[in-house]
Amino acid sequence: MALKPDSYVVLNDGHKMPVIGFGTYAPETYTKEQAEKGTKLAIEVGYRHIDGAFMYGNEVQVGQAINSKIADGTVKREDIFYTGKLWNNSHTPERVRPALEHSLKDLQLDYMDLFIIHTPMDFQPGDDLFPTDENGKPIFHNTDIRDTWKAMEACKDAGLVQSIGVSNFNRHQLEVILNMPELKYKPVCNQVECHIYLNQSKLLKFCKSNDIVLVGYSVLGSSRAEKWIDQNSPKVLEDPVLNTISKKVNRSPAQVAMRYLLQRGIVVLAKSFSPERIKQNFQVFDFELSGEDMKTLDGVNKNLRYLNFDTWQEHPKYPLHDEY
């Protein structure tokens, strides 16, 4: 079926997720007001899926943007698909619902469309987002992820969230949840880094075979935030093969990079706080990449990861030691 601005995927619990999501994470050089302005414009130009997180520190502003677009009649609450995330300091079961409620209060929303476990790695429970010891080393914790998942299921049963899922999980970690004997709800999605340099073909195949949607982040090559990303890594949007195809089809490299993932059945997140690029990134429905172009783009994969959570490699649930 041809992709359209209002295309969505049906999740394994029956809810619908629009195929393009507006990313709201930005490095500290951006203001929170830019997140608010960006989100408002995104809704005006047609984005209906907004990807946020408690850890991004701007759910108040993103919520204000959503509520103002509801108040002015641009959208209704049910038109919007908002994703929030459970941060690593709140994996213990008793902290899960309060964390969700905290986000909902900041957002001024009654429910989230999707709540996902931000990463499988948990930290010392508490208010500190990045707890460290006296030597500056992160203080890890090791909650059984199945207990966290049961608490996520209870949030869905309580009506605080429509769907629940995970992020940054590898295949084995997905299997731990899928194999829970008492499993009530499967994760609807796994949100992971995905772009032409990390095309995730194996994880995608596994997710598809289990009716789990792969949601891709950093599809344009990431925000390159200094705190997280190697500043010397090659840039997706400067890739020569991508640029050759983009000239041929008369679209920008960003549009082709997004379209490549959409055509593989991946839900795509893209962040921009620039009005011109917010609009541009939603104009990916009026062209199609040929089978040959898709194959050529498959060929630029390098298994290059921008976000490798380097300082958390010793966590017992560090997901990136496995191939996928």
The correct pick among 32, 97, 146, 277 for binding ligand NDP (CB under 6 A) is: 277
**How many Cβ atoms sit within 10 Å of the Cβ of residue 180?**
15
By the rule CB under 6 A, 187 interacts with ligand NDP? no
Residue choice 62, 188, 220, 289 for contact with ligand NDP (CB under 6 A): 220
Point out which span in 101-109, 132-140, 271-279, 282-290 binds ligand NDP (CB under 6 A): 271-279
Rounded to an integer, what distance in angstroms lies between the CA atom of residue 19 and that of residue 89? Answer: 29
Q: Is 252 in the site for ligand NDP (CB under 6 A)?
A: yes
Burial of 20 (0-12, 13-18, 19+ CB in 10 A): buried
Question: Distance (Å, rounded) from C-alpha 66 to C-alpha 144?
Answer: 35
Among 19, 24, 41, 149, binds ligand NDP (CB under 6 A): 24
The residue (of 72 and 311) whose beta carbon lies closer to ligand NDP is 311
How many residues sit in the footprint of ligand NDP (CB under 6 A)?
A: 28
Among 221, 259, 285, 300, binds ligand NDP (CB under 6 A): 221
Q: Tokens 């991508």 correspond to what residue?
A: 242
What amino acid occupies position 163?
S
Name the residue nearer to ligand NDP (CB basis): 184 or 302: 302
Q: What 3-state DSSP class applies to 190?
A: strand
The piece of 11-19, 65-73, 135-143, 211-219 that touches ligand NDP (CB under 6 A) is 211-219
Per rule CB under 6 A, is residue 246 in the interface with ligand NDP? no
Q: Which of 25, 56, 197, 318 is catalytic?
A: 56
Known catalytic residue at 260: no
Min separation Cβ 148 and ligand NDP, Å: 16
Q: Are 79 and 109 in contact (CB under 8 A)?
A: no
Rank residues 51 and 122 by Cβ distance to ligand NDP and give the closer one.
Answer: 51
- Comparing CA positions, the residue from 32, 39, 82, 29 lying closest to residue 58 is 32
Q: Does 280 bind ligand NDP (CB under 6 A)?
A: yes
Nearest distance in Å: CB 29, ligand NDP: 10
Long-range contacts of 2-6 (CB under 8 A, 24+ apart): 2/288, 3/262, 3/263, 3/284, 3/285, 4/285, 5/46, 5/282, 5/285, 6/48
Should residue 274 be labelled a site residue for ligand NDP when binding is judged by CB under 6 A? Answer: yes
| Residue 51 binds to ligand NDP (criterion: CB under 6 A) | yes
Q: According to CB under 6 A, which residues from 222 to 241 bind ligand NDP?
A: 222-223, 237
191 is an interface residue for ligand NDP by CB under 6 A: yes
DSSP 112-171: EEEEEES-S-EE-SSS-SS-B-TTS-B-EE---HHHHHHHHHHHHHTTSEEEEEEES--H
* Least distance to ligand NDP, CB of residue 26, Å: 7
**Nearest to 284, CA basis, from 45, 69, 43, 114:** 45
Smallest separation (angstroms) from ligand NDP to the CB of 306: 7
| 23 binds ligand NDP per the rule CB under 6 A | yes
Length of the chain: 324
Distance from C-alpha of 65 to C-alpha of 107, rounded to nearest angstrom? 9
- Closer to ligand NDP at the Cβ: 18 or 221? 221
Which residues in this chain contact ligand NDP in the complex, by CB under 6 A?
23-25, 51, 118, 167-168, 191, 217-223, 237, 252, 254, 269-274, 277, 280-281, 307
Catalytic residues: 56
